[in-house]
Amino acid sequence: MLASLLYSIARLLVDLLSVRDREQAELQAEVLVLRHQLRVLQRHVRRPRWRPGDRMVLATIIERLQKRRWSALLPSPETILRWHRELVRRKWAAFGKRPRRVRPPMDPEVVDLILRLARENPRWGYRRIQGELLKLGRPCSHVTVRKVMRSHRVPPAPRRSTRTWRSSFASTLRTCWRLTSSPWRRRGSAVFMLFFIEVSSRRVHLGGVSGHPTGQWVTQHARNLVWQFQDGILSATHLLHERDSKFCDAFDEVFRAERVKVVRLPFRAPRANAFAERWVGTVRREALDHLLIFGPRQLERVLQEFIDHYHTARPHQGLGQRTPIRGTQVPSKSDNSQVIRIDRLGGLLHEYARAA
């Protein structure tokens, strides 16, 4: 009964609309039928999938409709506005679109050098390998070194290290009196070394090595260094040293006579002398931890060899991957000569250069 009553009312409304204009009534009836069909479909399809063409058509035609009529559409007004903004963005982006830059492939020689340096030097990190490549005329970033090593499954330092103390000792035992092989102290005795380091250039000056240093011994080596000041070879304005009793007043007076201000570091503050502490850690990790020291003479010989390598062949991050002495002579990229390796301290230190 109720359904028939509602049907009769709907028929009456449609007939009233059709009295005025026959064609307009047919269009309105068609719109009502289509809307009702959309409502039925919307009950079964929660979220329709719009193709790019559908979005373009809807976003273009809906501009001519009033916003109060947008509620009858399937997409929400926010979705329609987002589609329209996307169309405008693509339109203007097409004018300023630039061709995609394709990175050229990496030079195979650089890849081979990176893998060779990484495998022959297990303790070298990404930046150390970067510095060696700069010396050989193949500059690249440490990120490139990391990508090449990862792509070839070469682990970073020190995880790829397979060198043990036993292998190091076996390879240098026959020349231990000339080279040394691992830190060794006699019971109740120790060997001390005195060195000076220039902060600006990272140059290291070895004063001396002794098992029983005294204030006079330290003062004498200070005089030897000051003679280079007088000859114009070196220059300094400040000298920093620890509060050890061996650095006596006579030691300070030697530098004060050359107008060098002496600064005593605070107690238990290794960061105040960071450059010296860093160099001590470097010489231990790269040389002394892998060698046996049997006396002051051997220690001095090893230190002199390492300092020469440190000055002329080892790149430094603080100097832009350059070396303290004579910089880094970068050959031209057209130089395809063979890369040779020079061994020092029985193969413990490796230096690379282009063959003449």
Q: Are 191 and 293 in contact (CB under 8 A)?
A: yes
Contacts of 42 (CB under 8 A, 6+ apart): 74
Q: Exposure string (b/e) for 72-109, b if CB count within 10 Å is 16 or more?
A: eeebeeeebeebbeeeeeeeeeeeeeeeeeeeeeeeee
Dist CA 344 CA 350 (whole Å): 6
DSSP track, 225-288: HHHHHHTTS---SEEEE---TTS-HHHHHHHHTTT-EEEEPPTT-GGGGHHHHHHHHHHHHHTG
What does each of the 356 residues of the chain score in pLDDT, given as a tens digit? 566 656 566 656 656 655 556 667 677 767 767 767 777 776 676 677 777 777 666 666 666 666 666 666 667 777 777 777 777 777 666 665 566 677 788 888 889 999 999 988 888 889 989 988 888 888 888 899 999 999 888 888 776 655 544 444 333 332 222 222 233 444 446 788 888 888 888 888 888 888 888 889 989 988 888 888 777 777 788 888 888 888 888 988 988 888 888 888 888 887 888 888 888 889 998 888 888 888 888 888 999 999 999 998 888 888 888 888 865 555 555 567 788 888 988 888 888 888 87
Dist CA 63 CA 54 (whole Å): 14
Dist CA 160 CA 124 (whole Å): 10
Tokens 């051997």 sit on residue:
298
Question: pTM of this prediction?
Answer: 0.61
Dist CA 282 CA 259 (whole Å): 31
Other CB atoms within a 10 A radius of the CB of residue 345 amount to: 22
Dist CA 251 CA 217 (whole Å): 10
Q: Are 78 and 70 in contact (CB under 8 A)?
A: no
Tokens 């031209």 sit on residue:
332
Other CB atoms within a 10 A radius of the CB of residue 124 amount to: 23
**Residue 76 to residues 9, 82, 87, 120: CA-CA distances in angstroms?**
31, 10, 17, 65
- In this structure, are strands 339-344 and 349-354 parallel, antiparallel, or unpaired? antiparallel
Phi, psi of 323 (to 5 degrees): -100, 150
- Which ranges constitute the DSSP H helices of the chain? 2-20, 22-44, 52-61, 77-95, 108-120, 126-135, 142-151, 165-172, 215-230, 249-256, 274-286, 296-312
Give me the pLDDT at residue 306, please: 93
Query: Residue 240, Cα to own-chain centre: how many angstroms?
Result: 32
